[in-house]
């Protein structure tokens, strides 16, 4: 097990390196001049532009800029944001807690909702319960986040007034978490449902029933545990997605977060911030995957790592 973990962690370094190099290359190759974008297209004189270019180190040749970035990143120094001059680590540190909050609550709602709906549908397939659950799942997957957000804001925020829209305190997480988690609910519900239906046809389930176990025991003890494998894999993927990708939810609900930060930084070509965030998101995915692999080991005694 430990050797397996060590091997996995050893692979993270090259993966991170490859991801950030790709990001660096793509950023520099796509059209758009950071200095120009920073100035929002204002008619700044040549001297203003040259000053800015020098200040940001953009007048140096590309390989030199790359080497500079890699050497400093290895030491944890990601430079300063082009937009504000703040150290990038500080910029990200300010935005990260809100993203983690949203990711956490969204993930919880997604998993809880998805499992609930999926189990109900899986246990009572082709019934009204199944129909309702799958309808909700379909809506969760297909409705664009922006539209769901607007609907929820209008109905629950404005008309009914039950929850705040952009105010303060913990309740302000409610609407964004539902929007954020709706995609996960949809995906997980369908996956859990088909997993359970598959598993219920298995021999060992018939054996358990033949032994005289109550149905509830059959489901909870045997069917569910085995049905969860594909679900765990999906959860790993979702976790990575959640950490990186809340930009629409963050923008609509006027929240802090790394999703919106990433998009803004790409549009304004704020290289240091984008590179640091790519690194962060890649690391999140890798971490999530390792976690999933470990969970497999826990859930399935047949899986041995060595």
Partner 1 sequence: MRDGRLSRRSLLGGAAAAALAGSALSELVSEASAQGRADAAVTWGEDQDYATLDPRVTQSRHEAQAIMQMFESLLFLDTDGKFYPWLAQRWEYSKDGKSITFVLRRDVKFHDGTPFNAEAVKFTFDTIVDPKLGSQGAIDFLGPYKSTDVLGPYTVRVNWTEPFAAALTNLSNPWLLSIVSPTAVRRLGNDGFARNPVGTGPFKFVEWVPRVRVVMERNEEYRWAPRVFRRQGPAALRRLVIRIIPDATTRVAALEKGEIDVCDQVPPIEVRRFQGSRDFDVMVGDVSGIPLSHLINTQAPPTNDLRVRQAYMYAINRPQVVQQVFFGVAKPAYGPITPTTPGYWPGVEKMYPYDPAKARQLLDEAGWKVGSGGIREKNGRPLEIHFITLLEPDLEVAVQAAAKEVGIKLNVETVTKAKQDEMVMHAQYNIGEIRWVAVDPSVLDIPFFSRNIPAPGKFKFNWSRYGSPELDRLLRQADGQVDVKQRQQTLAQIQKYVLDRALMFPVHVSAQPIGFRRIVRNLKFAQGYWQVLFYEATVS
User: Can you tell me the distance from the alpha carbon of 132 to that of 121, in angstroms, rounded to the nearest whole number?
Assistant: 9
DSSP string, 173-192: GHHHHHHHHHHHHHHHHHHH
Q: Closer CB to partner 1, residue 108 or residue 267?
A: 267
Q: Which of helix, strand or coil describes residue 80?
A: strand
Q: Closer CB to partner 1, residue 112 or residue 165?
A: 165
Burial of 88 (0-12, 13-18, 19+ CB in 10 A): buried
Q: How far is the CB of 58 from partner 1 (least distance, A)?
A: 13
Which residues of this protein are in contact with partner 1, per CB under 8 A?
30-33, 36-45, 47-48, 51-52, 54-55, 83-86, 91, 94-95, 150, 153-154, 157-158, 161, 164-167, 251-257, 260-261, 264, 267, 269
Q: How far is the CB of 258 from partner 1 (least distance, A)?
A: 11
Q: How far is the CB of 271 from partner 1 (least distance, A)?
A: 13
What are the phi and psi torsion angles at 40 (to 5°)?
Answer: 60, 30
Q: Which of helix, strand or coil describes residue 202?
A: coil
Q: How far is the CB of 217 from partner 1 (least distance, A)?
A: 48
Q: How far is the CB of 255 from partner 1 (least distance, A)?
A: 8
Q: Closer CB to partner 1, residue 54 or residue 62?
A: 54
Q: Is the dihedral of CA 174, 175, 181, 182 positive or negative?
A: positive
Q: Closer CB to partner 1, residue 38 or residue 288?
A: 38
Q: Closer CB to partner 1, residue 113 or residue 157?
A: 157
């Amino acid at each position: 097990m430990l050797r397996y973990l060590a091997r996995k962690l050893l692979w993270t370094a090259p993966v991170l390196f490859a991801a950030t190099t790709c990001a660096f290359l793509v950023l520099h190759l796509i059209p758009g001049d950071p200095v120009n974008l920073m100035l929002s297209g204002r008619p700044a004189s040549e001297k203003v532009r040259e000053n800015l270019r020098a200040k940001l180190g953009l007048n140096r040749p590309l390989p030199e800029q790359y080497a500079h970035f890699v050497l400093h990143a290895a030491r944890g120094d990601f430079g300063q944001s082009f937009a504000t001059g703040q150290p990038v680590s500080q910029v990200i540190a300010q935005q990260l807690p809100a993203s983690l909050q949203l990711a956490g609550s969204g993930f919880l709602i997604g998993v809880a909702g998805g499992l609930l709906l999926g189990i109900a549908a899986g246990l009572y397939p082709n019934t009204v319960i199944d129909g309702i659950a799958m309808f909700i799942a379909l809506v969760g997957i297909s409705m664009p986040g922006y539209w769901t957000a607007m609907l929820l804001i209008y109905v629950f925020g404005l008309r009914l007034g039950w929850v705040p829209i952009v105010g303060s305190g913990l309740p302000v997480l409610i609407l964004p978490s539902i929007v954020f988690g709706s995609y996960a609910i949809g995906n997980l519900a369908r996956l859990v449902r088909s997993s359970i239906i598959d598993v219920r046809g298995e021999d060992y389930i018939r054996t358990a029933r033949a032994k005289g176990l109550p149905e509830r025991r059959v489901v909870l003890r045997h069917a569910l545990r085995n049905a969860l494998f594909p679900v765990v894999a999906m959860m790993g993927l979702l976790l990575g997605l959640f950490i990186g990708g809340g930009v629409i939810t963050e923008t609509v609900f006027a929240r802090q977060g790394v999703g919106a930060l990433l998009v803004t930084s790409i549009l304004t070509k704020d290289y240091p911030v984008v590179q640091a965030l790519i690194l962060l998101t890649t690391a999140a995915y890798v971490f999530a995957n390792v976690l999933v692999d470990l969970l497999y080991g826990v859930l399935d005694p047949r899986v041995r790592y060595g």
